[in-house]
Chain A
Amino acid sequence: MISRTTSEQISEPAIPYTLHWRSRIYALIGLSGLLVVVIIFATTLGSVHIPFATCFQVLFSPLPFLHITPPCWQTLDAATLHTIILDIRLPRVLLAGLVGAALGVAGATYQGLFRNPLADPYLLGVASGAGLGATVAFLIPFTISWMSFGAVPLFAFAGAVGAVAVVYSLARVGRTLPATTLILAGVALGSFFSSITSYLMTICGEELHGIVFWLMGGLSLTRWSEVLTVFPCVLVGTVIIYLHGRPLNVMQLDEEQAQQLGINVERVKLILLGAASLITAAAVCFTGLIGFVGIIVPHAVRLIWGPDYRFLLPLSTLVGAIFLIVADTLAHTIIPPTEIPVGVITAFCGAPFFLYLLRKRQGFAFF
């Protein structure tokens, strides 16, 4: 807090800005470190508990130049450990991280674009579109596959992207894209798709179980091919979003002021909606509809580190990744061998934490 500045300080302006930057940069570095630790820790847990140090060695043994000998542990030889950790556990942990990161950054982007604290990555029909796509895929009587993926992720992705495209074209007024129309179109189309999904579920018979579990979201049986498909989509989308941190800050004023400050608001909206929807679609098409991450993570980050989108976006990515890895690890370890849907965990753990933050910072302006 600075007091009224005296004239001597003018040549050396008492600018508080850099200080905020420093704490946020420390947070970025700290959370990146924490993410690595959480990834390693998550690979230790499962039907066999493997010590942290052993996991560390196994995870880093394939890297060149480090010359780590693949270790053995108890009755497990190096090859078995390699299979358990690198082929079974690591893909699941990494996909959880990627999906959490995608939902976190997409949620922050949507909230910023709409200046609305209730916006989340599923606002524009991505979820209901993906849900409908996946349901249809469960019901088609023949099999389709592309690049080792079955029909479900393909249809879910197509449904998600298709829903956003329809919402976008419905909401467009001339050359502008009013936020209110967009939200209303998203809600309306979402309900429409959900009603079709519900109808299909009532007539689907034995496929119901699979559909319900898909809709609740989960990460079991993740393979490397899925991680390697989601990763480029999330990477490209996230980089595009990061580049728009400052325009997104200015757009928090309102669209008119942002335009008067030189921002091409319609272009920024289009790019960010496209990028955020793409990464959300890529995230949900393999894992189903994992709720709550995209709405809670950006809020928690905003409450702790402030509203500057240049930091809010990367911090939401990291916190989203950490949060979903932890939630997924809990989902399959607390009552083995039963696997709880990860969406149950995200809501059950996330909501109280969020309410705690909300109470602690009462009177805090969100936007």
Chain B
Amino acid sequence: MIELKDVSLGYNRRAVLSHISLKAAPGEMLGLIGPNGSGKSTLIRGMTRIIGLFSGHILVNGRDLEDMEREELARIVATVPQSAALPGAFTAFEVVLMGRTPHLGFLRYEGRKDLDIAWQAMEATQTEYLAERRVGELSGGERQRIVIARALTQQPKVILLDEPTTYLDINHQVEALDLVRKLCLEQSLTVVVALHDLNLAAQYCDRLVMLNEGRVFTEGGPMEVLTAVNIKEVYGAEISILHHPVNGLPVALVTAGESR
């Protein structure tokens, strides 16, 4: 469970986001959508205390983020950053195993249990076959799955994903989000995911928060948020909203300029 209460934050005293309040519950996938520069990544960085808050509070499982040690926070909240830099000389398994860091304390080395947890995370993300490979040799999609596996290895209660599908092909986009969705339901994880693609957001998220110019423009279920009027207002794009033939969820369609 993660809750933001009237949060303002930004860089160098310039607020990027102001007065944000939102809440994500266990077993729920909350999507953050909004145009470039609307503050999706900044919000996620705020939720992991990479950048400090100007005002307001972030509560993780009812406790204020500011009162927690980084290590304690990392046992509860795992982050999948956008295009994570990985040290090329380490093997994929070594990188996944780094997810055990917050559980190990200062002097302990990884035991059998930690190795098993890391291995299970690689199985869940279908990356076992990469274990021995150096991460410098992996493709963008493989690296992304390794980072998701590392997040699972943290055994968190909350997973924050910052545009996890950016470098993935459509099949890997679906695989990655299917996986996150499955883990969210099976393990009652709280998932907050920033997404570029409105159609993926509609398909996978229970609720969407649409950000615009550093504020919450609107929030609610995909049907309420993804309307042609809202998208025109926030993105300035002319799109048509259809309904998905299988599950009836909204689908945003673009129309080329000359045929409008």
Enumerate chain A interface residues (CB-CB to B < 8 A): 1-5, 10, 13-17, 115, 243, 246-247, 249-250, 252-254, 256-257, 259-264, 302, 306-308, 310, 364-367
Contacts and interface: CB of A to CB of B under 8 A. Distances in A.
Given A1-B132, A243-B106, A261 B154 contact: yes
Interface string B125-148: 000110110101100000000000
21 contacts: A1-B132, A4-B129, A13-B115, A249-B94, A249-B98, A250-B98, A253-B98, A256-B45, A259-B49, A260-B48, A260-B78, A260-B81, A261-B101, A262-B69, A262-B71, A262-B72, A263-B71, A307-B87, A364-B89, A365-B134, A367-B87
B50 interface: yes
B197 interface: no
A257 B98 CA distance: 10
Contacts of B136: 365
A262 B73 contact: yes
B74 A260 contact: yes
Contact of A262 (B90, B101, B107, B115): B101
Contacts of A364: 89
Given A259-B48, A367-B88, A250 B81 contact: no
B123 A10 contact: yes
Contacts of A253: 84-87, 95, 98
B86 A259 contact: no
Contacts of A257: 79, 81, 84-85
Given A2-B132, A259-B49, A307 B70 contact: no
Given A249-B98, A259-B50, A243 B107 contact: yes
Interface of B: 45, 48-50, 69-75, 77-79, 81, 84-91, 93-95, 97-99, 101-102, 104, 106-107, 109-110, 115-116, 119, 123, 128-129, 131-132, 134, 136-137, 154
Main secondary structure of the interface of A (DSSP, over half): loop
A261 B129 contact: no
Contacts of B99: 261
Contacts of A5: 123, 128-129
B73 to A, nearest CB: 7
Contacts of B115: 13, 15, 17
